[in-house]
Structure 1
Amino acid sequence: MAEGANFAPNLQHTPSIFEVSASEVLDNLIYPAFSKIFDYFGLKLNIRINETAFSEDLSPVITFALQYFYLKQRGGSFGESFYGLQRTSALNGDLISNRKKFLSASLLTLLPYFERKLRQRSTQHESTEWEEYLIKAFHAYNAAKAVNTFLYLAKYSVSHSPILRFLGLTLRYPKDPPREDKASYMILKLLEVMAFFLQFIQWWYSNKQRQNIGGLQNPDAIRKSKLNEHQNPNGMCPICLMKISNPTACAVSGYVFCWKCIANHLKQRKKCPVSGYPIGIEDLVRIYEN
């Protein structure tokens, strides 16, 4: 009887797999949504190391600050707090320490960021051998995550994520509501309202991209005089006017360029050098001859 009485309250404070999955989806929306906003306004973080300049958006920094703020105030990430969940010790149910709050915010920010960057470089055929190994490591992590989720669903694990298991944490409903001052309460409520705005930004951007590509008209025919300037009929690149190396087609305009030529061109101008249509690196398709 005593064991049953202790088991019932613990079960009541355990969230379902749908709630923990929904909180993860909401957490995963933060970085891409902020990235689109900062990219639209042209906000970049410029770093110079040994006369070498690096440019990166502010999304990872803002994402870390947001996650750490929520972990410090409510004991859970942005998505977890939105669904009323807290990170607690898997052993005794105590709230997490400041050290684990910092580690949690770092892992919530860095893991999705590096995975997205590695996949982007792999898509652009710029990844090194070590980066390919890291991509395989992320595949293994996602497989382990799926297994851990199944174990959590079958009540064989107290943590749905390998990261939470590594940190010795689990998700629970708080027994007592978090104590917050009015300023923190207003900020957190405003951020929760912004969650719907972030989802709308993500949907609007994806929908606009489809409309832009679907609404494009066929480019005008190029006259013979202009053809000599932009494109050679004997398999020459329209940019360097030499024989095409690593042929790469633009999915929007249909023209074929050297991979390095069109990739370097897109770093300066986000449009096709022949048709003038707006394009991005994701619109390029490598052509394999063998």
Structure 2
Amino acid sequence: MAELGAHLAAAAPGHDRPSIFEAVAQDSLMAAVKPALQHLVKVLAEANPGRYSFLWRWFDEVYVVLDLLLQQHCLARCSASFSENFYGLKRIPLGDRRQQPLATAGLPKRQHCKSLLLLVLVPYLKGKLEKLVSSLRDEDEYSIHPPSSAWKRFYRAFLAAYPFANMTWEGWFLVQQLGYILGKAQHHSPLLRLAGVRLVRLTAEDVQALEKRSAAAPSSQALSIKARVQAAARTALGGIACSLSTGLSVGVFFLQFLDWWYSSENQETLKSLTALPTPPPPLHLDRGGATSALLPKLKTVCPLCRQVRVNATALSTSGFVFCYRCAYSYVKSHQRCPVTGYATELQHLVKLYSPES
């Protein structure tokens, strides 16, 4: 049924117009690449914190720089983003009814700059906004600020307004896609309209021109020193972007393999292959060790403030119990358990209630 729908969409009037399946698929491609790279960086940072922890802390900024190089390379080389070129699409200026130019001709400067900014900057800002909302929700749930404080009233109002703003944003995209399906719109995404371009399929002439351009070797004999330096810099940046493009192309197939590997029909096989015995519980720190001095002798005393616990709160990552204010302040500042050093977030705080309370 899906193949029939795709065939009908592809056979619709305007053969150069990509189907909604192609348009949505290329959108989802880059959306799947970033979480995969983020997970890889997290594994490296946990395995070797001294060497790779900065990549985890600055992942968004490192990713946006690499994304900028990649998208600039693809837009300049084939008039398309990485994912659009992967699916055999290109961008042309809006309102251009003449013979479609070759993809190697590139976009006009204005459309090129707007496309680059919208491809790189919008996902970056959206990701930062989502992280801010997540941190504010944790602050709202676990904060020790009084409910009447101005800061708490502000971010509660922001959190209340964010779902409506996000619904409006997603609804805008949905309406645009419905208009594209019904043939009432030239773009499936509002970002394409803001960039002043539309998507079309690559033609046979485009493919031949791209192949000839890749095979052509630039001659540097008649170039000046300045021109050679500029050409070398462009070649180096192009090589980096080309390596990213090739690596991501291979990574896409690897992601598809992982999706199949972790699919529901393979879960039983996966469990049987990865089943390991339950590790023994850790030795109690009271019996000795470097951190045993951190623990008070009395069980009712907080290990941090050395006073009788107030609003006893346990950390689900280690099981140790502290005062709520002590645990909240320490975990918010250090993101780890003060006794064991296990990585801990605010959502790992568990309030304890005695039978008398």
Q: Kindly indicate whether the alpha-carbon contact (under 8 Å) linking 1:88 and 1:169 is maintained by their aligned counterparts in 2.
A: yes
Alpha-carbon separation, structure 1, partners of 2:311 and 2:38: 33
Residue range with higher mean Cα deviation, 79-88 or 22-31: 22-31
Alignment RMSD, CA only? Answer: 4.3
Alpha-carbon separation, structure 1, partners of 2:278 and 2:28: 31
Corresponding residue for residue 274 of structure 1 = 339
The runs of at least 4 aligned residues of structure 1 exceeding 6 Å deviation read 183-187
Structure 1 residue 263: deviation in Å?
Answer: 2.5
TM-score of the superposed pair, with normalisation by structure 2: 0.57
Structure 1 residue 139: deviation in Å?
Answer: 3.7
Corresponding residue for residue 26 of structure 1 = 29
Structure 1 residue 192: deviation in Å?
Answer: 3.5
Alpha-carbon separation, structure 2, partners of 1:143 and 1:218: 50
Structure 1 residue 168: deviation in Å?
Answer: 2.8
Q: Kindly indicate whether the alpha-carbon contact (under 8 Å) linking 1:246 and 1:259 is maintained by their aligned counterparts in 2.
A: no
Corresponding residue for residue 268 of structure 2 = none
Alignment partner for residue 18 of structure 2, among 12, 15, 20? 15
Structure 1 residue 84: deviation in Å?
Answer: 0.6
Alpha-carbon separation, structure 2, partners of 1:42 and 1:201: 23
Corresponding residue for residue 64 of structure 1 = 68
Q: Aligned pair 1:223/2:225, yes or no?
A: no
Q: Deviations over 1:142-200 (max 9, x none)?
A: 22112211221222211111111222322110233153233779974872453332674
Alpha-carbon separation, structure 1, partners of 2:312 and 2:125: 27
Q: Aligned pair 1:164/2:192, yes or no?
A: yes
Alpha-carbon separation, structure 1, partners of 2:163 and 2:201: 34
Please give the secondary structure, in 1, of the residue aligned with 2:58: strand
Counterparts in 2 of 1:200 and 1:143: CA distance versus 1, 3 Å? same
Alpha-carbon separation, structure 1, partners of 2:189 and 2:89: 15
Q: Deviations over 1:36-87 (max 9, x none)?
A: 5556352748xxxxxxxxx734111111111111111111111111001111
Counterpart AA for 2:22: E
Corresponding residue for residue 284 of structure 1 = 347
Q: Kindly indicate whether the alpha-carbon contact (under 8 Å) linking 1:231 and 1:241 is maintained by their aligned counterparts in 2.
A: no
Q: Kindly indicate whether the alpha-carbon contact (under 8 Å) linking 1:13 and 1:173 is maintained by their aligned counterparts in 2.
A: yes
Q: Aligned pair 1:194/2:235, yes or no?
A: no
- The structure where strand makes up a greater share of residues is 1
Alpha-carbon separation, structure 2, partners of 1:31 and 1:288: 35
Alpha-carbon separation, structure 1, partners of 2:25 and 2:278: 34
Q: Superposed, which structure 2 residues align to 1:7-156 within 5 Å?
A: 11-36=14-39, 40=44, 42=52, 44=54, 56-57=58-59, 58-92=62-96, 96-124=107-135, 125=138, 129=155, 132=159, 136-156=164-184
Q: Kindly indicate whether the alpha-carbon contact (under 8 Å) linking 1:149 and 1:160 is maintained by their aligned counterparts in 2.
A: yes
Alpha-carbon separation, structure 1, partners of 2:12 and 2:255: 40
Counterparts in 2 of 1:112 and 1:231: CA distance versus 1, 3 Å? farther
Which structure has the larger Rg? 2
Q: Superposed, which structure 2 residues align to 1:252-267 within 5 Å?
A: 252-255=317-320, 258-266=327-335
Unmatched tracts of structure 2, length 5 or more: 1-10, 45-50, 101-105, 141-153, 218-237, 263-273, 353-357
Q: Kindly indicate whether the alpha-carbon contact (under 8 Å) linking 2:30 and 2:83 is maintained by their aligned counterparts in 1.
A: yes
Structure 1 residue 260: deviation in Å?
Answer: 2.9
Counterpart AA for 1:63: D
Q: Kindly indicate whether the alpha-carbon contact (under 8 Å) linking 2:312 and 2:321 is maintained by their aligned counterparts in 1.
A: no
- The structure where helix makes up a greater share of residues is 2
Q: Kindly indicate whether the alpha-carbon contact (under 8 Å) linking 2:172 and 2:190 is maintained by their aligned counterparts in 1.
A: yes
TM-score of the superposed pair, with normalisation by structure 1: 0.68
Counterpart AA for 1:13: D
Q: Kindly indicate whether the alpha-carbon contact (under 8 Å) linking 2:91 and 2:197 is maintained by their aligned counterparts in 1.
A: yes
Structure 1 residue 256: deviation in Å?
Answer: 5.8
Counterparts in 2 of 1:186 and 1:108: CA distance versus 1, 3 Å? closer
